[in-house]
Structure 1
Amino acid sequence: MVADISPAQVRAAIQQYLLDALPKPEAATRLELAQFARMLRDYPERGGKMLRGTLLVYTGLAYGASLEGVLPVAAALELFQNWALIHDDIEDASDERRGKPALHKLYGVPLALNAGDALHARQWALLVEAGASRAVLLEFVRMVEQTAQGQHLEMSWMEGQRFDLGEPDYLEMVGQKAAYYTAVAPLRLGALAAGAEPPAIFSEAGLKLGIGFQIVDDVLNLMGDPAKYGKEIAGDLWEGKRTLILLRFLQQASPEERRRAEALLRIPREQKPAPEVQWLHQRLLQSGAVAQAQQVAERLLAEGLEALEPVLRGAPRGAYGALVLEILQSLVRREA
């Protein structure tokens, strides 16, 4: 069997389904509600690679689902990411998202927060309207809970000025905050949407791949192409994120450099001196911590793919399973 639905076609179908489910400004009865509709459509209309939704679709197709059967679930997953990003940008005081000002920078925090809440509600509406199974709904619940728990860990460390952290702490936090919804949930949801029981390896291998994805994102935050990356370069340093790169650097730095870096990271974003941020940015690039983090990402990628390959190629429609493997590989080996 040949996979006859290209990734571009899948992305276009998800995007169209998602946008059709959102209010249209021209249909609003008041100017304020037209603005509300524009805000809900803002992040989705900015595009993105929709890797998670595409991963879900191809997994569902591999297990016998139709495109029409999995589209609502994939669109709901992309809605999840969009409302979570609105909230994440507020919590991190981020300036940019997908190459443009973050939503709260355009409309203020209260309106942006409200728009995120509305998209969250619409996520559930898509699933209910499509008649999603109890298993699919519960997987979405688990995904939201895992992401919120990981976000709490990260924010707590930043609020508490924690620097006594190591690689195990980072892996635990990222496994919940980013890895679950990036790889585990799309794999499991694809199978569940097809009416199949997800193989247990989806969770273990998906976590490895999702963590690798986040490590690469941390690397790109320091040395990515601004035109492709879509977020502020060195934004993690301005925000004080406890990335694997930063934690490795702090462990290896001289006492003087560690004190200097920690003093900078304790300062609120709006008060951080730009020259000091530039200094830490350059030291991270020079220290070898970036290369070490990349090696961890590559190891996790190799382990995850090795575990998943026989399962996905052996799925009822193995050609689609092969495409799932290609997408998973692109999660870690990417330039933006």
Structure 2
Amino acid sequence: MVPPPQETRKAIHERLLAQLSHPDPGYQALLQEYPSRGGKMLRGLLTVQAALAHGAPLEGALLVATAMELFQNWVLIHDDIEDASLERRGKPTLHRLHPMPLALNAGDALHGEMWGLLWRGVQEGLLEPAVLGEFYEVVRRTAYGQHLDLLWTLSGRLDLTPGDYLRMVEHKAAYYTAVAPLRLGALLAGREPPALYEEAGLKLGVAFQIMDDVLNLEGDEAYGKERAGDLYEGKPTLILIRFLQGASPEERERTGALLRLPREAKPEEEVRWLWERLLASGALAWAREEARRLMEEGRATLFPHLEGLPHPEAARALQSLLTALVERRA
């Protein structure tokens, strides 16, 4: 029997907080701040469902899912610092609640706990060493994608193409969001992950990130970050790239002048102008359709394979969750 999502979330959340317990209450509060805010734990849920669909035991799946959520949380702490973000999950970011060096150190601590949890799983015979190799790939690829994102943001690049965006997002977000959970599910069951997991998973993961960019501009209480935060941070989203491709020279110049300013110097009226132009240009609607297209292509490649996995009920739940991932219903 496949446990319901709410039950799985609760199990992952309890393990996550337990892994971050510490005798120093102030330090523990720092480590547990982001995990305590909840979140949908999508990567953890995907990992559990993928593992069960492949026939892996639940206990090992929950351990790896917890490690995935440790990864997600320490990356968010670092990402918020690097982007000077103001909000995370509806509350001030960690580096705004505490001095930045303390927040940065908390992110490092969660990173260490991730590896410690995985190593314990190997020692106890719950995990094969190949799982550690997959987590190394997750960290390696995410770091490179973040490098590109930061590099392009800091340099104020206006000549990026949709292909550049796709390459960056495949590394920064898509791999760990969709590819890694699928591959980990197979590895936890002692199976070799097929190549189509990366091919289809990247499309689904990119579609998820495009929708994240769309929601950032549309604003939504459930989204958990400030509306138009990507514009204040100067992020090279697919929406912005599409707009610039059709913008007039005057609009490009005005956009570039705004994006090159540091966050705190960006005039609110100029951010609103760009936000309104993005909506009026049709770039937002175009990006939404691109996400839909990528989702359908990823599903068409992946789902026939999933239907042949050992645990049909879990495989169906995994398919549902992957669709909800992009449609933001999970």
Task: Give the TM interval when normalised to the shorter protein.
Answer: over 0.9
- Conserved in 2, the CA contact under 8 Å of 1:234 and 1:281? yes
Counterpart of 1:161 in structure 2 is 156
Give the aligned residue type for 2:107: G
CA distance in 1, matches of 2:2, 2:87: 36
CA distance in 2, matches of 1:58, 1:99: 27
Q: Aligned residues: percent identity?
A: 59
CA distance in 2, matches of 1:19, 1:194: 26
Counterpart of 2:303 in structure 1 is 309
CA distance in 1, matches of 2:59, 2:112: 22
CA distance in 1, matches of 2:301, 2:10: 30
Counterpart of 2:276 in structure 1 is 282
Cα RMSD between the aligned structures? 1.1
- Counterpart of 2:222 in 1: which secondary structure? helix
> Which of structure 1's runs of 4+ aligned residues deviate more than 3 A?
none
TM-score by length of 2: 0.97
Residue 224 of structure 1, CA deviation: 2.7
TM-score by length of 1: 0.95
- Would you say how many aligned residue pairs link Structure 1 and Structure 2? 326
Question: What pairs with 1:77-226 in structure 2 (closer than 5 Å)?
Answer: 77-131=68-122, 132-225=127-220
- Conserved in 2, the CA contact under 8 Å of 1:62 and 1:317? yes
- Conserved in 2, the CA contact under 8 Å of 1:224 and 1:335? no
CA distance in 1, matches of 2:324, 2:99: 35
Give the aligned residue type for 1:241: K
CA distance in 1, matches of 2:86, 2:255: 22
CA distance in 1, matches of 2:61, 2:300: 26
Q: 2:13 aligns with which of 15, 21, 24?
A: 15
- Counterpart of 1:229 in 2: which secondary structure? coil
Counterpart of 2:322 in structure 1 is 328
Superposed CA offset, 1:206-234 (max 9, x none): 00000000000000000031x21100110
CA distance in 2, matches of 1:273, 1:69: 50
Counterpart of 1:4 in structure 2 is 2
Counterpart of 1:59 in structure 2 is 50
CA distance in 1, matches of 2:329, 2:322: 14
Give the aligned residue type for 2:311: R
Q: Is 1:240 paired with 2:234? A: yes
- Conserved in 1, the CA contact under 8 Å of 2:86 and 2:96? yes
- Counterpart of 1:130 in 2: which secondary structure? helix
CA distance in 1, matches of 2:75, 2:184: 18
- Conserved in 1, the CA contact under 8 Å of 2:186 and 2:193? yes
Give the aligned residue type for 1:332: V
Q: 1:318 aligns with which of 287, 312, 319?
A: 312
Residue 158 of structure 1, CA deviation: 1.4
Give the aligned residue type for 1:67: L
Q: 1:293 aligns with which of 287, 294, 308?
A: 287
Superposed CA offset, 1:282-321 (max 9, x none): 1111110001101110000000011111111110112111
Structure 1: stretches of 5+ with no match in the other structure: none
CA distance in 1, matches of 2:192, 2:50: 12
- Conserved in 2, the CA contact under 8 Å of 1:220 and 1:335? no
- Conserved in 1, the CA contact under 8 Å of 2:12 and 2:66? yes
Compared CA separation, residues 233 and 317, structure 1 to 2 (3 A): same
- Conserved in 1, the CA contact under 8 Å of 2:51 and 2:188? yes
CA distance in 1, matches of 2:245, 2:4: 45
Counterpart of 1:252 in structure 2 is 246
